[in-house]
Structure 1
Amino acid sequence: MKNKLAVPTTAHQLDQYALLEHGRSMCLAGQFDQLQLLLQQISQASFNPEQTLLLEVLMLYPGSASPPQNHTKLLQRAMNLHELAQALGSDLARAWIWEAMQLIQISLQLHHAALHSTAMAAEMFEHCARPRDAMSMRVSRCLIMIHCEMYREVIAMSETLLKQRELLDTIALVNLLRSSASAYYFLGNETDGDEAKLAWSNSLNLHQECLRIAQQARIDKFILISHTNIAVLSASLGMRKETNEHLLYVEGMQGLAESINISWSYWIRYCEILLLCQGAEFNHGWQLLLALANELATDNMVTAPVQDAVFKKIVRLGKQRGYFEIALDASERHLELSRQRRHLLSKTLSDTIDDVMAVPHLQQKNQKLSQQGYALEASLARRNTELSQALSKLQIEVDIRSQAEQALQRAHADLEEQVRQRTQELEQAMRLVMRQEKQLALSRLVVGVAHEMNTPLGNATIAASTMQHLCQNLLLDINGPSLSRSKLQNTLSSISEGILLLSRALNTASELVQRFRSLAIEQHQESLTEYDVSHRCQLLIEGWKNRFRQAKVEVYLQSPTGIKQIGYPNALSQVLDQLIDNAMRHALLTTQNPQLDFILSADETEICIEVSDNGLGIADENLQRIFEPFFSKQLGLDGIGLGLSVVHSLVTDLMQGRIKVENRVTSGLSVVISIPRMTKLPQLS
């Protein structure tokens, strides 16, 4: 006795068996679209030997292989897998193999061979303690026996199986009732009179039971088949009302009907013709019946069951109505149809036998290929040895390179640490330099403020000291014995001059403080306004017109009209005014043919204003310091060095723009100011 494979006990094994069983169920139910998705999931799972074998068997079932394989090759593959299943001792795999074989044999119309496969599958399922699957195979046996015209045997076997109805699932029960009903229907076609009506009535009852079960289970396919079969039987029994009722159901499911069987429309027409032939419209129905027979004669063998029913009905009605020639012709055409069926079956069987006879030749080729494979394996073994030796050498080289890479990585890590330390040192040095630069700038600022403030404050001190001395002398003279009028006038005149000197000194100091405060944008209280930049520039130039005329300065303005900006118009005027003042005071004072150019341009986001002159320019070493407060080459003479510092503060901080100063290639200085079309509110701290 062969050893049986162990029954799966772990949850993982149960899951794998369940996946395979689900795939088999989809094949049997015709759910081929969902089956392909499940097969993708199954391909990623890991299996034990029996599960691997079951997966191979599953690929024999209809719809599992894409593209479909040759049926004869599938049968040969099934036999090879059966030998493997015997070696493994897997009754379940053998049961699946016999089941798949009977499906393949039905497709090849090898119905008698399919009967044997079905019986073997049922026996194997019994050994596996799966009585429901065994019952399903016996039901399949009944369906195959219909094709073998074993009608009475089907009826007897169906009655036996129906006694164990509790073991049948819904689909198996419906198939069993259908097979029995079909057997009764074909027996009725072979007889006449009351015997035929009795057989058709039994078939009708069974199909009606099929319909009730299918409706309860909501299986559309069997609902449609049952309605169609009931319509055919009702028409055969002359039940006009019932026939029309079921035909209406079939017409409502026409889309499904065409997807199941292309001969469904012929069955519907056959029912309608039967109703006409049984009433006063016999002649019209008879003509339609003959026309249907001629139409079916040009069709393929798919509609053979309809042709069989039509020819038999023509023969029966022809004998009853005296159309003997037509009945004889229909009988001959029916015999020709039977001959074509047998010829097709013989051809299929012949092709199968040819394929089977070719198997020994293929096996011989396989043996030769196996011998060549052995020689190739020996050659590969030698090559593998050589490759192993080469691999060992490569491994040694890899180890050396790995050590070198590790050393390189350590050196790289050390270098990165040194760079990090040097970077930290550099950052500290930069911060120190920045502090020193800030202190230096602050020192310059303090020196500048002290230098500029020293003169007016010194003058104010001298004036105050002189007036104090004059006041003291005046008090002595008043308290003395005599004070002349002229002396009082001289003293008061001197005090008045001292007051004027003190006032001018204090005003100068106040002006310096105000200009110094203008470095902070917080002192600029203007609000954002939309204005015309080009118009503002024209107004500014008009304001300087007299001074330009006096200094003989030529002014050129190149500006498109309508350049709008949302910003600070007064701040822009202050900036441009300071630039013009600088040019007039320093650049163009000693220049022959002095010239001042204004060029405005704009794009979607920015406005550019260039102010250039043909004056002296600025030394390169001073260009970097021109925006520093109190930086001026004429400090203490005609400037205090705050103009460009205020300009820079207004442009960059308040107006959120950019300013660039550079010497022109020819001569003079160029100042380029870029400001955004829309200025944002400044974020003041």
Structure 2
Amino acid sequence: MTSGARSDPQDEPTSDGHITPGAAELARLLHDLRQSQIEWPAEQLRDDLQRAGTYHPSPVQALELEAYGLLQGIGREPASALQRLRRARELQQLAMTLKAPLAEAAAWRVMHTLESLLQMFPASLHSAGMAASLYLQAGEEDMAQLMTVQRNSVLFHAEMYEELGASCRQLLEEGTPLPPAFRHRILGGAGAAGAAFSLGIRAPDDEAFERHLEDSIRLHREALALAEAHGLDALASVSLTNMAIVEATRGHAALSRALMEEVRSRPEVDPMRPGWKEWQRYCAVLVRAQQDEDGWQALMDTARDYMGQGLNRVAVRDACLYAVKRLGRRCGRMDDALWASERLNELQQASYRKLAHTLSDTVDAVLERPHLMHEREALAQRGSDLENSLAQRNAELSDTLARLQAEIAIRQATEVALQKAHDELEAQVRQRSAQLEQAMRTLMQHEKQLALSRMVAGMAHEMNTPLDNARMGASLIGERARQLRLRLAGQTLRRSELDDLLVQLDGGSDLIDRGLARVAQLVQRFKTLGLSDEPQERSEMDLCALIRQSASSWRQALLEAGVDLRLDLPGRCVYRGYPQDIQQVLQQLLENSLLHGFRDGRQGTIWIDLSVEGLEETTLAAPGAQARGEPPAVPTVQICWRDDGVGIAGEHLPRVLEPFYTTQMGRTGVGLGLTSVHKLVVERMSGELTLQSQPGQGTVVRMRLPMPFQEG
């Protein structure tokens, strides 16, 4: 019995009680589509979709087929995933209205795949759960179980490898009957074996590395035996390729080549399978990299090629970078290993940012908007109906008043009814207002959490790279020291070898020093995020002299950057405040202009203007203001910092004051400069700070400090 024959209305027999051959074939095709891996639409599946469309499907059947068709070509057009997700949402709503659980389950299943592609992992897990629930409702228990299996792909793409391994082991231990292809998936590269491999290449030591990869080989062998027992030739080739990759990663080059030769002797795998060509290429260059210099360069070229690839190539890209890092350290190619380590840290940071951006995005709001508009239209219609009802009631009352003399009693009854309706409406308005307030509080809390996520991600990125470098230097020193002891113990150490070891020890020491120095520098920068709790006393200073003194200390940096500095200051401006904070603000603004405004060798000019506002008006208006009981106006100092650098793009300008926001992450800054300026000016000095900029027209920063001062 097919799935459709049990549940959906489209599979009901015709009026004469028989199912036509075309209807039976359509039901079979739908059953095959439901039980297929629709997130990887192979040629056969694409053919099934086209054939199903020729049998004149019913509206509900057409809805289900359109849902599966949304995944056609998604591997070549990932940018259209969000648009397809909106359409899948519409199909789900339509299927729910038509009370077609199988069609609705198909829409949820497609949404699960698209949300995983967009890295909306919580939403993807929810969609898979909804599809499983609908399949259970329709009596499709095997399909519900298959949706539970497909949730493992979300764990894999979310890099939750330990959770993925536990989930796969639980499914295997339960012994639930599953189609061989799906059981192969639980065992293989996207399941338990893939989780073990991913944990192995990320392992901190060689023992854990070997243990995880041995588990991966064992699981791939089980998957291979399963595929061969059921005649699944393509999946058997996949298992052999995965085994070749694991053996190459372990350094067993000859065994890896033998496995790949066996793959080439078998039927060809669908080349459209996600990541298939990339994994084959990676296996080949990994074997070569362990043999000669050309092979190593091929591995480096492959690692660079995989940077910036799509979701289906993330796993092979990470495997390639971890291989460069591990083999580079083992073979003394420290520059390449350091490059791979930095790329891995950058990719991890990008993943954090993308996740935070996804959480803060308005995708859910966009998807929910048609539903909300529909509800609003329904409310408006009910309001219109109520108005029509009231108008009709008034007409009846007028007619009754003309025919009867009971006007007072009728009017009183009408007023009571209207008052009740009015009270109910007010109660609804108050309830809605309370709901909106709660939603606003929730949104504010959400924004705080997102800001914290970005801050933590920024700190993690900046700290990981120097710490990993220092750790790599310590590992190098330890390894070379061990070699030195062995050579000394065996009395086989030559002078040239000693010199070489000492050079490498010096290099490792320098690597540690640079990493720890960078960490210390970052810690100092991170301290600027919060104001010091230590009490500070204000002191009287000449702002003009302070600015000139700072400008004198910048002379060398400005000369090297090819930037001119022009000052427009009064003779003297006595100000009572915090001199160190003023100097820190000016220093941060200088660094911001040199690093960002005049980057890539651009030359230009910086202007610093200082003016006094409100002093003369305060002196003249004070007697009259005091006579009226008004407080005197507070004079302010305005410092204007301008440069004619490259400016700031419009999409970045609203966010430049956020901690760790920078377009030069990992190259020239950590995104704390303008954040520190804002904190010092606004929170410490109770001042105001405004920022204006346009691309190609420079940047203007204005600071107004409402503090007591004297001008001379």
TM-score under structure 2 length normalisation:
0.44
**Larger Rg, first or second structure (1 or 2):** 1
TM-score under structure 1 length normalisation:
0.45
